[in-house]
Amino acid sequence: MRIVFIGDIFGRSGREALQAHLPKIKDELNPDVIIVNGENAANGAGITEKICKEFYEWGVDVITTGNHVWDQREIIPYITRDEKLLRPINYPTGSPGSGVYRFRIADGRTITIVNAMCRLFMDAMDDPFAAMNKLVGEERLGQNTNAILLDFHGETTSEKMSMGHYMDGKVSCVIGTHTHIPTADAQILPGGTAYMSDAGMTGDYVSVIGVDKDIAMNRFIKKMPGERFRPSSGEATLCGALIVVDENTGLAKAIEPIRIGGSLRPEWPSA
């Protein structure tokens, strides 16, 4: 099974990059499923129904989010109707939407996509480790699902790496989001789980994590409120990864970074 995961879509430039580069990704990488994190797609804060539908039209199969999922209030009623739009599974009981979706490929194979959120330097949340432990007791690799991918959304590499090792051999891939910087640690862990601390942002990297650099810098330099943050509008780099999974065991055979366009050095999978 071939899975493409694309990191945080940031603002208009990120959306434009996604639309522009998805045809190449589909034609050359031949993915069975395409997953994107869309929590910053609407002007850098949240996502809307219109944007979700555009993503699906372009070829996205499932959308994950994170701590900005509710920034656009219109998404609250919509997420209850769209089971392919996820919010973190460790949100409190009763929160709208779901944190897990089992996607069925046309040939009958399935991949379970999970969204969870870290707790260090983030909003207070239920325990993501307990939530994942419960989930892998129900979704079992090679038995009732062919693959499991976790988008683990958070600030610290230590918490993400801990989840990677905790889930090693129990899920196909643990891939981080939220920091908007792609990491160079894509690897297969000893138990067969693919891991990457952060997929990176799909947005303009001549910025401060997607925000207009002058506005962001002035917050640090002047230590005073300034202009409202707005997304940088230059050419975006699409960042993500290709994960190749043995659908019989559910364990990963390869994980390779994807970087296309914009100012970062390009990376293209060989698998």
Neighbouring C-beta atoms of residue 4, cutoff 10 Å: 24
List, as one string, the DSSP characters of 5-32: EE--B-HHHHHHHHHHHHHHHHHHH--S
Cβ contacts of 209 within 8 Å, gap of 6 or more: 179, 180, 181, 201, 216
Contacts of 226-233 with C-beta under 8 Å, sequence gap 24+, read: 229/44, 230/43, 230/44, 231/10, 231/11, 231/12, 231/13, 231/14, 231/43, 231/44, 231/203, 231/204, 231/207, 232/11, 232/13, 232/203, 232/204, 232/206, 232/207, 233/11, 233/12, 233/13, 233/204
Q: Which one from 21, 68, 178, 180 is the annotated catalytic residue?
A: 68
Q: Is 68 a catalytic residue?
A: yes
CA atoms within a 13 Å half-sphere pointing along the CA-CB vector of 188:
16
The answer to whether residues 182 and 198 touch, using CB atoms and an 8 Å cutoff, is yes
Active site residues: 68
